[in-house]
Structure 1
Amino acid sequence: MSTLSHDERASLADALSRVLARQYGFASGRRQNLAIAPEQLPPIWSTLSELGLHAVMVSPDFGGFGGGADEIQLVQRQFGRSLLVAPWFQVAICAHAVARAGSPTQQGALLPPLSDGRAVMVLADRDAVELDAEPKVTQAHDTARGWRLEGRKTAVLHAGLATHYLVPAVTPNGGTGLFVVDSSAVGIGCHLSRLVDGSWSGDLRFESVDAQPLEGLSLQHHGEVYRSTEALAIAGVTADALGACEAALEMTVQHLRTRKQFGQSLGDYQALRHRVAEMYIELEQVKSACDLAAEAVEGVDSVQPTRGTAQALLVMSQSATWILQQAIQLHGGMGMTDEVAVGHCYRRMLVLNARWGDTREALARLRGDGMTKEMPGVAGS
């Protein structure tokens, strides 16, 4: 339950919007992304810490505000509008998992540095797939020397910045365990790649890597925590897409008002005005997806809310992708250039679809055959 009032959330959104506009405009943000190494935090990271953003999702017992889906959506909506590339979102959902399943000792060791930006924990939950084969699941083995992980994870966003990884893995009983892995542990291989939106992703290989299970709950309950963490992530993703769509739509309207053709503004053409009206209708669909995803977080331990996250993902992916495609179309060829922000909004959506699930994957989840495709063992954990 959030400890932030409505007025406090409004103040936070306003402050964050002004900070991002001042320190992370499109041109300056793009230059920052291209200039920094994949292991280097963006310059704005310390400013986010000063705003208290890193503590939004951390329990008040450890210096945070105890935020929930509403708060993560508030922040991610602003980040989507500004196209910010930073690991805040990953840290937020991992802090949620540690708060739910970590022991008091683990919470005391992990949450304070996460809440002030000194530590970065990212979720590594997608098992690698080779060609058309089934995913090769990451296995956790309980040995005489403690738990060890074997396997590969792919599409780990901001892997190069991580001090810790949160890794779901299949345990000997076939269930899902959540394990914290130090990024400097022996046996980890990491291959980094830059994505189309300027962020970095990593493919991880674990070879008998020392791992610590979250010990606040028994392993048989970790699947529930993982589902809750994934639901919170989808809530944040829908808000990120909403922010990108809002920014792109505003830029498109401004472009149609100012761009002239044959002596009149493009916005005077009825066909283009109707297209913009359709974009606003689809924007309401994305907003509805945000609301649905946030509601699903509250009761994610049951089957129906888990289905709700898939429904939200489907609506968001369909509507947001269409809006951003139309924004580029209405800008003409210049919408595809690197110097115009609207194309980067679409690139951000491509990454969201690839990492969290596009229309096809959302439909598979709703059918039931893709609900646990990336994490075998969740359903029976």
Structure 2
Amino acid sequence: MPISKDIFGKTAEGEAVTRYTFKNKNNVIVRILDYGGIITDIIVPDREGKMEDISLGFDDMEGYAKSGYVGALIGRVANRIAGGQFSLDGTNYSLVVNDGPNSLHGGTRGFGKRFWEASVDGNKLSLKYISPDGEENYPGEVTLTVAYELTDENELIIDYTATSTKARPVNFSSHGYFNLGGHGSGKVYDHVVRINADSFLPVDDNAIPTGDIRKVEGTEWDLRSPVRLADRLEQVPGGKGFDHNFNLSLSGEKRLAARIEHPPSGRWMECHTTEPGVQFYTSFYLQDMAGKGGANYSQFGGFCLEAQHYPDSINQPSFPNTVLRPGETYRQTTSYTFGVSC
């Protein structure tokens, strides 16, 4: 079906926000805003055919303005940069610090807080944003286009393409929060997770990778076989659950990163990506807040699968490169596929 659009609401400054709605032959619905590339709704069936929205979100723009990153596109650099500092080609850069001592998800007003130029071509929605040189203290003018497509196989495909006028780090992701029992169904303890990663990145007390690349075997981070979250979250040291980068292959080919199942409803989702990592986050820091439709969101009320390069890569020479230079083109494809087990 063709992509439809309507006005979702207005920002505090009075600017109208447009919402784009995808619907496939299976009546799966996805809605995305031209503000922040925010995914507001993902409506899929359970094993009985009951449709439920599995994407955490809000009824109005005020909710998204207060929420931080729920459902949004993340950039210029997703995840954390230690101390808000990096050096590139002999120049030192100081970023906005907004996460303890770190710079997180692009700074105070990252890509998830910006309007994007939207265009529709058949069943694809493209969002384009030009980030000017010096925005959030990052060098270079960066042009990023993110294209979305919902297939009749219930696959939401997200393609990223970027260029820059100066050398600078880039790391883009989509920060959707999911709960396969329904966005307002409470804790995700009954979800079963599998992540195809042989190693992960240990972090320090400020959630910055230590530089080690540690094998998951014999640790609480071994999710290569299906694990029920209720049985594993309490074993993760620190009591905060998962907020870690799991290291995928470095082939650059699109492959299965993770599969999450919800046995009570039969719903499952898979994440495939060309990225070398996926941040699995079980929402320890999700504050008690009113979500859409009168739902209440709280700690461990959702999970994120953020396909990305490794956190703090610009300060970690042993990590995969995140520097985009003039004349180069950044590309990423990540998809989320939704289905039902009988």
Which is richer in strand?
Answer: 2
Larger-Rg structure: 1
Which is richer in helix?
Answer: 1
TM-score scaled to structure 2, two decimals? 0.31
